[in-house]
Chains A and B, each alone.
Chain A
Amino acid sequence: MKVVPMPEEVRVNEETMTLDRANARSFINPPDMNALELALQLRERHGGVVTVLSMGPPFFERYLRLTLCAGADRVVLLSDRAFGGADTLGTSRTLAAGIEKIGGFDLVLCGEESSDGATAQVPPGIAEWLDLPQVTYALSVDIDLPNRRLSARREVKGGHERLLAPLPAVVSVKQGINEPRFIDWSLKPWADSVDRVTVWSAQDLEVPLEEVGTAGSATVVAGVSQSPTRERRRERLTGDPARIARELAERLRPFLFGPERGP
């Protein structure tokens, strides 16, 4: 899971060409909540333990604790300055190391993409680092524990397909595939107890420092700018609807033509 800033509250620092999210409020990346809901439903059907894993700065912890109030069993946060500045290569490496350290898992569920980066690369990246089968853009997932396999429906362009994959596997889920349950605030004292959240550093993960963070990243941001908007005519048409329509039809003439000159 990832904690992402509210888009409208992020500003570009034009001097340093970096994003300033210091004053932006945050929330849990929406499709990650769908992944959590799916995990909780699978636990209800098949048993097991739901561990929430994230990589990020220490402040992520207070958001991640909310997932405990929603029903997760434990939280692991990978947090170390060495992990900072990672692109998807470094991020997926770090998360894969965290998953290996947790160990004994059947299924890794992720949101399809994050609302800030929107690359959708991290789930396939994790699968590759762990040498596991992957299913991306899943619409539904069921698991068959005795036969150690999962069946999933996933979205492809113009339709969907049904897949069968062995467990363990990495699955990314489409946003909105289910209705994430409400947070149960009565669980707050339990969720706030110290031992519900484990924080691991680079040293804990025993991961080579050249494979994580900036050092483990292959891409660099060469520039950032506020999105330019194209100049528009911004002509307001007023009057009664019939008159507006006639004027508009007139204005649209350059973009239209009669069927006699047909396409």
Chain B
Amino acid sequence: MSSGAYGRDEANGLWVYLEERQGRLEGVSLELLGKGRELADLLGVPLTALLVGYALGDLPNEAVAAGADVVLVADHPALQAYTTEPFTRVVASVVNERRPEALLLGATPNGRDLAGRLAVRLRTGLTADCTGLSVDPERRLLLGEVVGFGGGIVATIVCPERRPQMATVRPGIFPRPERRRGRRGEIVPVPVRLDPRDTRVRVLERSVGEEVDLTRATAIVAVGRGMRGELALAERLASLLGAEIGGTRVAADLGWIERSRQIGQTGVVTRPRLAVCCGVSGAIHFMVGVEAADCIVAINTDPDAAIFEQADYAVVEDAFAVLPHLIEALSETKVRATP
């Protein structure tokens, strides 16, 4: 086996790569700081956050408040917008210099874009899209859980020899840590040296809106094929519950819901208190995205629908017949989902 950038004996510390978007830390970056704190304590090492961008303001302090011991900050005008090669250059250089044991990134589009390139540059292993993370402190291994084949299979992946051990983690898997304003941490600027070759790709235009973040929703009303694109009732229920509308891949493919509201294997993983699934058959691809819900309600006309096997309350009925009554019954008590 050809070797990586550095060996396991030289490696030390757990790192989290922080992604910034529109002046804020991505939710998944905060989630990783929370989980990273826990894993760093198990390994007995400091938790280092790496923040790359431009004019990063108070974000390093926020990372400390969320659990980082050290925040490495690469702040440079050329890093204002994410492009693969400059970000790969900066991260690879600071990783090679400081040699962490493990590096965690969020499995956002840009997080995965960066991680895939970085892992090859560092000649190391990357476990992609983890839905669970743990460590083996004795063997100093990061254990990444990934779901495969539509969610039916869980594999645990390790990177035994090469360092850093890299993993991308899905948004919404871990809870956001509490921010402790008084927490002390070290903020360290790192030099940015770019190669002219790194700026081959130019961003001409970027259009990023405030998109819904289903990973944060307390309650979700999920729609599937059975709703035939008529979402008025589902929306009334959602507004009554303080819930977000979500849906299956089919619902997104058919344009009934925005892509950011798609739940499951190729969408988002949610962890609401309550998920009311209307006209959803319960394919495993979808269930991956709601299985962390405290309570699942399924309303579907098909008595054999798979979702009934995984629901707390199963209603074999047409959602269009039940929802008006449910809305009425809930309106009487003016309930909202508990945060």
Contact = CB atoms under 8 A, between A and B. Distances in A.
B265 A118 contact: yes
A245 B333 CA distance: 13
Interface in A224-263: 224-230, 232-238, 241-242, 244-246, 248-249, 251-259, 262-263
A133 B109 contact: no
A127 B128 CA distance: 17
Nearest to A135: B201
Interface string A124-145: 1101110101111100000000
B209 interface: yes
B291 A120 contact: no
Contacts, number: 292
B334 interface: yes
Given A8-B152, A118-B129, A259-B334, A161 B205 contact: yes
A237 B204 contact: no
B311 interface: yes
Contacts of A7: 149-150, 152, 284
Contact of A224 (B109, B150, B153, B318): B153
B326 interface: yes
B109 A227 contact: no
A206 interface: no
B2 A161 contact: no
Interface residues of B, number: 101
A154 B108 CA distance: 13
Contact of A252 (B113, B274, B322): B274
Nearest to B219: A255
Contacts of B4: 218
A116 interface: yes
Contacts of B315: 236-237, 244, 248
A163 B203 contact: yes
Contacts of B85: 133
Contacts of B227: none
Contact of B202 (A125, A158, A164, A176): A164
A26 interface: no
A217 B162 CA distance: 10
B82, B114, B129 interface centre (most CB from chain A within 10 Å): B129
Given A124-B84, A234-B314, A222 B110 contact: no
Interface of B is mostly: mixed
Interface of A is mostly: mixed
B144 to A, nearest CB: 8
B206 A156 contact: yes
Band of interface residues on A: 35 or more
B273 A255 contact: yes
Contacts of A194: none
B1 A216 contact: yes
Given A224-B153, A234-B308, A236-B316, A88 B116 contact: yes
A120 B116 contact: yes
A41 interface: no
A4 to B, nearest CB: 9
A157 B211 contact: yes
Given A118-B265, A218-B125, A92 B159 contact: no
A254 B273 CA distance: 10
Contacts of A12: 153
Contacts of B207: 159-161
A106 to B, nearest CB: 15
Contact of A218 (B123, B296, B335): B123
Given A241-B325, A256-B335, A158 B260 contact: yes
A256 B274 contact: yes
B90 interface: no
A165 B201 contact: yes
Given A124-B116, A225-B155, 13 more contacts: A88-B128, A89-B120, A118-B148, A119-B129, A127-B117, A128-B120, A136-B116, A161-B208, A222-B157, A227-B284, A252-B330, A252-B335, A258-B336
Interface of B: 1-2, 4, 21, 26, 81-85, 88, 108-110, 112-117, 119-121, 123-129, 143, 147-162, 197, 200-211, 219, 241-242, 253, 260, 265-266, 273-274, 284, 291, 294-297, 308-318, 321-322, 325-326, 328-330, 332-339
Interface of A: 5, 7-8, 10, 12, 19, 87-89, 92-93, 115-125, 127-129, 131, 133-137, 151, 154-166, 175-176, 208, 210-211, 215-230, 232-238, 241-242, 244-246, 248-249, 251-259, 262-263
9 contacts: A119-B128, A120-B128, A124-B113, A124-B120, A159-B207, A218-B126, A224-B153, A227-B151, A236-B315
